[in-house]
Amino acid sequence: MTRVAVYPGSFDPLTNGHLDIIERSVELFDKLVVAVAHNQRKQALFSLEERIEMVRAVTDPARVVVDTIEGLLVDYARAKGARAVVRGLRAVADFEYEFQMTLMNRRLAPDVETVFLMTRDDHSFVSSSLVKEVASFGGKIDEFVPPLVAERLKKRIAERATQR
C-alpha cells in the first residue's frame, strides 16, 4: 500500500521553510502531493501557474506531484488516495489556526489524518508575506527562498514598480 499525503498551501512564493517541510515529508510518505491553492483571502503576487511551475522546478518529480486544489481539502485528499494531510507549523499562532482546521477536517473526514511538522528553527520566522515585504523594499531574500524563486520574486517586484 502506497502512503500518500497532501501538502496544501498557496506557496506565494515558495519559501525554504515550505521546501524543508516538503523534503521531510517525502521521507515519511511514499508520495507527496503538493496542492497549490488559490487563496481567496490573499492577493497573489504570482499566478497559480507560476507558483506550480516554481514548486515543480525545485522538487523531485519522482517523489512529489504538484497539482492545484479547489474545494474542500478532505475531498481533494480522498480523491488523490491520501490518508494524510501535512501541515507545517512555525509558531503558536499557526497551531491555533491549524488546530481549528484539523478539527473541522476530522469531522468531515475522520479517515484523513493531519500530520504537523515543526519547521526548522532557521525558518520559524519566515512567511511568504514577510519575504514579499522584504523583497519589495529591496531587502536580501536569498537565504529565505530557493534561488529560482528569489530571481523571479525580484523580477516581479521590479515589474510592478515600473507599472506605477
What distance in Å separates the CA atoms of residue 12 and residue 106, rounded to the nearest whole number? 27
Average pLDDT of the chain is 94
Helix, strand or coil, per DSSP, at residue 80:
coil
Q: Which residues participate in catalysis according to the annotation?
A: 18, 42, 90, 128
Contact 128, 11 (CB under 8 A): yes
pLDDT at 93: 76
* Residue pLDDT, tens place only, 61-73: 999 999 999 999 9
Question: CA 60, 73, 32 angle in degrees (round to 5)?
Answer: 15
Q: What cell was used for 82?
A: 491520501
Kindly list the domain boundaries of the chain, sorted by start residue: 4-163
Mean pLDDT by 10 residues, the chain (164 residues): 94 96 97 91 89 97 95 96 96 86 97 95 91 95 97 93 80
pTM given for the model: 0.94
Q: How many residues does the chain have?
A: 164
Helix, strand or coil, per DSSP, at residue 106:
helix
CATH number assigned to the domain covering 4-163: 3.40.50.620
What distance in Å separates the CA atoms of residue 53 and residue 68, rounded to the nearest whole number? 11
What distance in Å separates the CA atoms of residue 163 and residue 10, rounded to the nearest whole number? 25
